[in-house]
Chains A and B, each alone.
Chain A
Amino acid sequence: MNVTSAAPVQQGKVTVKDFGLSYDTLEGAVEAVHDASIHVDPGEFVSIIGPSGCGKSTLLNAVAGFLKPTRGEVAVDGDPVAGPSADRGMVFQQYSLFPWKTVRENVEFGLKMKGMERSKRETSARTLLGLAGLLAFENQYPENLSGGMKQRVGIIRALATGPKVLLLDEPFGSLDAQTRLIMQQILTNMWQRLKTSVLFVTHDIDEAIFLSDRVYCMTARPGTIKAEIAIPLGRPRQQSMMMSSEFLALRRGLMSLIREESLKAIGGEVNDIALQGLDIELHGRTLADVI
C-alpha cells in the first residue's frame, strides 16, 4: 500500500487513563463516564461495547478530540489529545459525506487539507476507491449512493490521510443486516492490509467479536470499563467463523456481561414483572440486541 503513506506499525498507541467526563446541569454535575482506562496498541483492533447511553461514544469523541476530559488523560503515542486532527480519522454513524463533493473529492478532502497537489491526491483517492470497489462511482454525488456505499466512502476518506488511529462510532448502525455483514468483512480486509490502530464503538456483540482483537465492555451510566476480553480468533476472519464454538462461547460470555448492564440501563423505566415477561419473549437474546 503506497497510497496511505503507511504509518509505521509502531505508531498509533492510544492511551486513555482514568478518564472521567461530567456535564453541568441545574441539578448539579451528571457523570457520563467514570474512571475509564483503555488502551489500543499500535495496529490493534479494539472495540468498546455497552448498552445505549453508557458513554462509549463519549469516550470515542474524547479520543477524537471533540470533548475535553473532566478528569484523567487521553493520549496518542504519548502526546495528549488537544483537539481533532487528521492523526485520528473518524467514521460517524450518520453518513457524513459532503453532499457538494463528488465521491472522489470527498476522499481527496483530507489530502487537500494536507496540501497535497491535485494530481497526486487524485491518484491516491482512485487507488483507495478501487480497493473499496467504488471506482465506478468516483464522479457521483453521495446522494446517488446506497447507505453501504456511503459508509465505505466514509471509511476510505478517513483512511486516505494515513491516520495513526481510525475511530469508528457505530458506523454500520443504520445499515441493514446483510449490508452490515459485508461491511464488516470489507473493514477487516482493509484493516488487515493497512494495520492502522482501530477503536470501534458498537452495541452489536457479534460485530465486536468478529472484528476485534480485544473488546472492552462498559457498564450503564455512569460508564466505567466493566471487563476487557481478548478475542483469540485467528486471522483472516470470515463470516463462517461466526458459527464456530469458539465464537459462540465468546458471544455467550459477552452477552451475559452486557445483559446485566442493559437491564440496569433501562431498569428505571420498566418494572420487574414486565422485564421478566420480556426475558421469556427474548429466547436468549439480550435486551441490548432488542433495544
Chain B
Amino acid sequence: MDSAARKLTETVAPSPATENPLSAPEPVPAQLKTGWVWRWLALHRSQLRTLAIGAVSLALFLLAWHLLTKYRVTAHVRFVNVPSPEMVFDSLTRVARDNKFLSHVFLSCRRIFIGFAIAATVAVPLGLVMGRFRLVREIVFPVSEVLRPIPAIAWVPMSIMLWPSNEESIIFITYLGSFFPILLNTLHGIAMVDPVLIRAAQCLGAREASIFRDVYFPATLPHVFTGLTVGMGVAWVSLIAAEMISGQFGIGYFTWEAYSLVQYADIALGMICIGVLGLGSSALIRGLGRVVMPWAKT
C-alpha cells in the first residue's frame, strides 16, 4: 500500500465509528454528568417514563374498579355482584397458601408447556421444509388452510372423541391453537429470505445443507419467534376454553367453577391469574428470542 493510500484508509477507518449507534451515547445535559446514577437515569429517561406512566395507568384502573364496585354502580352494566379489588386480594391471600389452587395453576402451565412445545417442534421444521420444498408445500398447504380457520374451541367435542384421556384432549386443543400461527409465520419468514444472501453463500462455497443451516434457518428465526409469541397467546385462549368445557382441573376450570359455586371473588382472581400467566409466558419467549438472536433488535 502506498503512503497516500494508507493515509486514506487510516483517515477513513475511525470515522464511521461516529455512525455506529452502539458506541454513540445519547447526549446528556452537562449538569447531569455528576454521577453514574444520574447518567443512567438520563440515558433511560424514555424507558422510565414508560414505566411510570404504566404504573399510574394500572393504579387508575384499580381505582376505577374500586369505585365502581364500592358504589355498586348500575348503568345498564351492573357492578352489583362484581367483586371489589379488596375482595379479590383477600381471595388471593387465602388461595396462595392453598395447594389446590396452586395445583390448578401448575396443571394449566403443564398443559401449555406440553401442547406448545409439541406445536413448536412440529410446526417450525414443517414450515422450514414446506418453505424449501415446493412439493411438500403444495401437498400440505391446502389441508392446513382448511383446518386453520377452525377455532380450537370447535375442536373440543372432536378432541374428546379422538383421545383416550381428558388430559390428552386438552393438550391437543392447546397444541392446535399454537400450531397454525407458528407454521404460518415460519412459512412467511422463509419466503422473505433475501435471495442475495443465498447467492452470497453459494459464492462462498456453501452447499444445500449449509445454506439451509447457515442462511435459511437464521434468516427465518425472527419470524419464527413472532409465530411463537402469537402461538403462545392463542395456546392460552384455547387452553382456557377447553378447561372450562371439559376440565376437572386447571385455572380455566377454577374460574368456571367459581361461577357455579357463587364465589365471585374467585372469578376475578382466576381471570387475573390467566392474564398474568399469559403475560409471563410471552415475556419468556421474548427473552428466549433475545438470547437466541443477539443480532436482532427487538
| Residues of A participating in the B interface, judged by any CB pair closer than 8 Å | 64-66, 83-86, 88-90, 92, 94, 96-101, 109-110, 113-114, 132-134, 136, 140-141, 143-146, 148-149, 157-158, 161, 167, 179, 182, 185-186, 188-189, 192-193, 236, 238-239
Contacts and interface: CB of A to CB of B under 8 A. Distances in A.
Nearest to A150: B16
Interface in B1-54: 1-2, 4-5, 8-10, 12-13, 16-17, 19-22
B295 interface: yes
B13 A158 contact: no
A133 B10 contact: yes
Given A85-B205, A86-B204, A90-B200, A100 B2 contact: no
A182 B295 contact: no
Contacts, number: 115
Contacts of B200: 90, 92, 96-98, 157
Pick the 8 closest A-B CB pairs, nearest first: A86-B205, A133-B13, A110-B204, A84-B202, A146-B16, A113-B205, A96-B200, A100-B218
The listed residue with most A CB atoms (<10 A of its CB), out of B10, B196, B294, is B196
B204 A144 contact: no
A148 B295 contact: no
A182 B8 contact: yes
A148 B8 contact: no
A98 B218 contact: yes
B76 interface: no
A179 B84 CA distance: 66
A113 B204 CA distance: 7
9 contacts: A64-B203, A90-B200, A133-B13, A140-B20, A148-B16, A158-B204, A182-B9, A185-B9, A238-B2
B179 to A, nearest CB: 26
B155 to A, nearest CB: 37
The listed residue with most B CB atoms (<10 A of its CB), out of A88, A97, A98, A236, is A98
Interface residues of B, number: 38
B202 to A, nearest CB: 4
Contacts of B199: 64, 66, 84, 90, 92, 96
A64 B202 CA distance: 10
A101 B221 CA distance: 13
A154 to B, nearest CB: 8
B180 to A, nearest CB: 26
A146 B204 contact: no
Nearest to A160: B204
B5 A236 contact: yes
B210 A113 contact: yes
Contacts of A64: 199, 203
Contacts of A167: 203
Contact of A86 (B5, B19, B203): B203
Contact of B16 (A92, A114, A145): A145
Contacts of B214: 98, 109
Contacts of A83: 202
Given A66-B199, A89-B203, A140 B5 contact: no
Given A109-B204, A114-B205, A133-B12, 13 more contacts: A86-B203, A90-B203, A98-B200, A99-B296, A100-B219, A100-B221, A134-B13, A140-B20, A141-B294, A144-B21, A189-B5, A189-B9, A238-B5
A152 B206 CA distance: 21
B293 interface: yes
B215 interface: yes
B201 interface: yes
Contacts of B202: 65-66, 83-85
Contacts of A145: 16, 20
Contacts of B207: 113
A92 B73 CA distance: 67
Nearest to A132: B9
A103 to B, nearest CB: 11
Contacts of B134: none
B297 interface: yes
Nearest to B20: A144
Contacts of B206: 109, 113
A89 B210 CA distance: 17
B197 interface: yes
Given A100-B219, A145-B20, A158 B203 contact: yes
Interface in B208-267: 210, 214-215, 218-219, 221
Contacts of B204: 86, 89, 109-110, 113, 157-158, 161
Contacts of B194: 94, 96
A109 B201 contact: yes
A90 B197 CA distance: 11
A158 B204 CA distance: 7
A168 to B, nearest CB: 12
The listed residue with most A CB atoms (<10 A of its CB), out of B20, B194, B205, B293, is B205
A161 B206 CA distance: 12
Nearest to B11: A182
Contacts of A114: 205
